[in-house]
Chains A and B, each alone.
Chain A
Amino acid sequence: MTIKKMADSGLMIMVIYLIIFAIYAAVQPSALSAYSIQGLFNNSLPLMLAAAGATFVILQGGFDLSVAGTISLVNSIVAVLQFDGAIGAVGILGIALTVGILVGAINGFVVAYLKIQAIAATLATMIICQGIALLILRAPGGYVSDFMAYELTGSVLEVPVSIIVAFLVAMLWFVFRRTNAGRNLLAIGQDAKASELSGIDVARTKFFSFIWAGAFYALAAYFLAAQTSTGSPSAGEPFLLLTFAAVALGGTAFGGGRGGVTASLLGAATLVLMQKFLFSIGVSSFYTGMVQGLIMILAVLFSGAVQFVVDKRNIT
């Protein structure tokens, strides 16, 4: 296996995750109990899903700030819908996904067809979504059904639901990147002009990358509501920077063309694990941001170094 493949498959970040987890478990033996593993994954899942969504846009060379707005909006909607039971949860999921996809479609239309710079356009949609979230839910609170709060954060046959969801997303990506749509996405990120010339519908591919992103942000907001069993019109704000940190940690190249959703999932999980680990070894919570910042820079440098080595090998 070449270095490049290792970096792309997210193997590297998985190794980092396991190392940190091993140290964490050594420091805090209770970390290995089923209960705390379930808790850890429940805490990680929203960020993992958000990072997975952002990866779709970043892979095609774009940028999506609307993650914060979409999560706030969907989180608020989930918290005002009072549907109970399993069927209610499915219904809410459907509504959440519809809203997420709708926001994604607007982003995609503005960026891909009106040709507005992605950062600027998604900044605007993010602000609009935050406003709508405030109209729907004025203050943190709302209602989350017992089914969502307990079953979705629980386990099925001893396996935490959050791990199952993360695994399904990884599987989805495994299949998707082998389809034409997945290949187009990576091709555009590598060289949009060449992709256009070879007959790829660049605008369409970009459009759908935002739709995937919107759907995943909605999922993140849905599981965030289940995990916190409440809603908040500003639920998405902490996600804005952490999502990109997670994607960077996973080794996906900003500017597009290299990386993957699975790596971002693991990157997000690593960020959350890191927080727990730093807390457990007694680093004052004041300074966790500092460590996160340093890790982000190191992760990007590391991923750049891998790319450098790969490029050098390709040339010689």
Chain B
Amino acid sequence: MNPFYSVTDKQDTRQAQRLNSTTIAVLTIYGLVVLMIFGSRLVSPSLGGISQLMNVLYLSSFLVICAFGQGLVILVRGLDLSVASMITLGGVLSTTFMQGTNEGLYFIIPGILLISALVGVISGLGVTHLSIPPFIMTMAMGLIVYSVCLGFTEGTPRGFPAPMLNAFMQNKVLGVALPILLMLVFILIFTILQSYSAFGRKLNAVGNNPDAANIAGIAVKRMTISAYAISAACSALAGVLLAAYANGATLRMGDDYLLPSIAAVVVGGSSILGGRGSFLGTVGGALLLTTLSSMLSALGVGQGWKTILEGIVILVALIMLREQIFTGLQSMLKKPN
């Protein structure tokens, strides 16, 4: 047999296995989310309804947006620790520029996204061209951005988001809050972007093997930088929305999103080493974490136990989602054949 054929064959099955394990992981997570939302009715009759589902979707929209950027950075073997500061930057810039009026809203938001993307480009440049470890680079950028926000606002962010944004956060269309619809559009576009577009495939290739990607003619450094830029812009967008939701920015508004953004990505079945991950999985991870936390709050569980349970869920998800388990499962399923 021609040896070249056997090589292609092998790669094909590997691809199939990988798809399989990702699909199983994603399905498991969504199954858990559904189970938790509707199962919570057993614990308390006030839970488990459509309104609670909507609430969870609403609250998770912020996390979904920043977790997408985090997922892209993790996909290219990085880690973005500047998420919290970029959320703060987005919030502070939006309230400062909008000053509670709708004037100029249409260039302020793109402007904020552009500024934050530039910050992401700087992080990306540090990682790719100066070979600074990603988490050091993003952590340092985060510190710098945070301290600029702190100095710029002198400790207390002033101003208010545009009324139009406030209305956007509160209004509903056919009983569904607009941010949820925005999130659905976001998920649709970015699933295509990450998994089915040439851009996404290139990012996957870079994460899988940068050297091979380079040989294949992919501009590895440029792709990596764009992942950091997108992540920074996503976090800033989440910051703008959060400021509109809370009707004002605070300097610590991003703190609750840094670790959950990483957790959502890894719970969603992406490898923290890069090269493997799907945005739908990340969305599932974000939904799972938000559902868990809102369910535990609704049940009146104290902050301590709530935090412990969240940690345990992440740990269990990690242990369950190990690749060996899937390959083990597959070999078990294959044996009878």
Contact = CB atoms under 8 A, between A and B. Distances in A.
Nearest to A130: B307
B312 interface: yes
Given A119-B79, A119-B272, A127-B259, A297 B132 contact: yes
B143 interface: yes
Interface residues of B, number: 47
A184 B135 CA distance: 26
A83 B273 CA distance: 45
Contacts of A254: 133, 135-136
Interface in A127-166: 127-135, 138
A288 B144 CA distance: 9
A127 B259 CA distance: 9
A192 interface: no
Interface string B138-163: 01111110111011001100000000
Contact of A116 (B131, B308, B318): B318
Nearest to A233: B304
Contacts of A121: 315, 318
A130 B310 CA distance: 11
Nearest to B148: A290
A293 interface: yes
Interface string B245-272: 0000000000000010011001000011
B229 interface: no
A172 interface: no
Nearest to A118: B272
Interface residues of A, number: 42
A229 interface: no
A38 interface: no
Max count, chain A CB within 10 A of own CB: residue among B141, B304, B324: B304
Interface stretch (A5-13, A92-100, A173-181, A240-248): A240-248
A290 B144 contact: yes
B273 A117 contact: yes
A87 B311 CA distance: 35
Contacts of A135: 302, 304-305, 308
Contact of B307 (A131, A290, A300): A131
Given A135-B302, A286-B147, A127 B136 contact: no
A26 to B, nearest CB: 26
A134 B319 contact: no
A117 B267 CA distance: 12
B22 to A, nearest CB: 16
Given A110-B315, A125-B311, A135-B302, A288 B136 contact: no
B319 A289 contact: no
A286 B155 contact: yes
Given A286-B150, A289-B147, A297 B315 contact: no
Given A114-B319, A134-B303, A301-B130, A293 B266 contact: no
Interface string B198-240: 0000000000000000000000000000000000000000000
Given A116-B318, A124-B315, A294 B308 contact: no
Contacts of A289: 143-144, 146-147, 150
A206 B141 CA distance: 30
A292 B145 CA distance: 12
B151 A286 contact: yes
Contacts of B154: 286
Contact of A124 (B126, B136, B314): B314
Contacts of A115: 322, 324
Nearest to B154: A286
Given A124-B318, A289-B150, A290-B148, A131 B140 contact: no
A205 to B, nearest CB: 20
B295 interface: no
Contact of A134 (B131, B146, B302, B314): B302
A123 B259 contact: yes
A225 B143 CA distance: 26
A241 B143 contact: yes
Given A288-B147, A304-B131, A124 B139 contact: no
Interface in B68-88: 79, 81
Given A117-B271, A123-B263, A131 B147 contact: no
Interface in A5-37: none
Contacts of A119: 79, 262, 272
B310 A127 contact: yes
A294 B151 contact: no
Interface of B: 79, 81, 126, 130-133, 135-137, 139-144, 146-148, 150-151, 154-155, 259, 262-263, 266, 271-273, 302-312, 314-315, 318-319, 322, 324
17 contacts: A110-B315, A124-B263, A124-B312, A126-B259, A130-B311, A131-B303, A131-B307, A133-B304, A134-B304, A135-B302, A293-B140, A293-B141, A293-B147, A296-B139, A297-B132, A297-B136, A300-B133
Please name the 6 residue pairs, one residue from A and one from B, whose CB atoms are nearest each other, closest first: A289-B147, A131-B307, A131-B308, A128-B311, A127-B311, A134-B304
